[in-house]
Homo-oligomer: A and B are copies of this chain.
């Protein structure tokens, strides 16, 4: 754990807990789903193994994450505590703030479709609720995500096999632009199925 700021300020105390390098990205991975050590390594390209171990211990000590023994196997699984899961809100706000940075496209950066699960939820939350439920697929980077919009809100996840009203295929930056509301559904986007469902889910009616 790095040095404390020594300030009686909420922001400083939060950063004392999650401000160290990699910490919030670990939380991002666990917001997608609980994960094993190896899955975290894969989802955090560039992290050194000793650092990941250190950070997991720091976050556990702080009460942000917990180790669980997966049923059946005796493997360790890392998961967010209830308090840790509340980091979703600040993380979503940080993701919304990044929109101008993301519009520049990926450049040479690595990309994982799972990251979009967190980002799409962040960008679509707080949009007006739809009148009629729809589920659309997002085909990106060879993977398929699903976004289900109902009267009570939005759910984003990896595709679980359910029926889809439509499938949108586009680059990640285009998907993000659509979700952020800065792009209009037109070119660079391939839609199969019910285009009205896509417009409804993205609130582009």
The residues of A with any CB-CB pair to B shorter than 8 Å are 2, 4-17, 19, 21, 24-25, 28, 45-46, 83, 86-87, 89-102, 106-112, 115, 118-119, 122, 172, 176
Contact = CB atoms under 8 A, between A and B. Distances in A.
A110 B13 contact: no
Instruction: Indicate how many identical chains form the complex.
Output: 2
Contacts of A10: 94-99, 101-102, 119, 122, 176
A25 B19 CA distance: 11
9 contacts: A8-B115, A10-B94, A10-B119, A11-B24, A11-B25, A13-B101, A14-B95, A89-B96, A92-B93
Nearest to A28: B11
Question: Interface SS of chain A: helix, strand, loop or mixed?
Answer: helix
A102 B24 contact: no
Interface centre among A2, A7, A95, A172 (most CB of B within 10 A): A7
Given A9-B111, A10-B95, A10-B122, 19 more contacts: A4-B109, A6-B46, A6-B110, A7-B45, A8-B102, A9-B25, A9-B28, A9-B112, A9-B119, A10-B97, A10-B119, A11-B24, A11-B28, A11-B98, A13-B102, A15-B94, A86-B97, A87-B97, A92-B93
Contacts of A122: 10
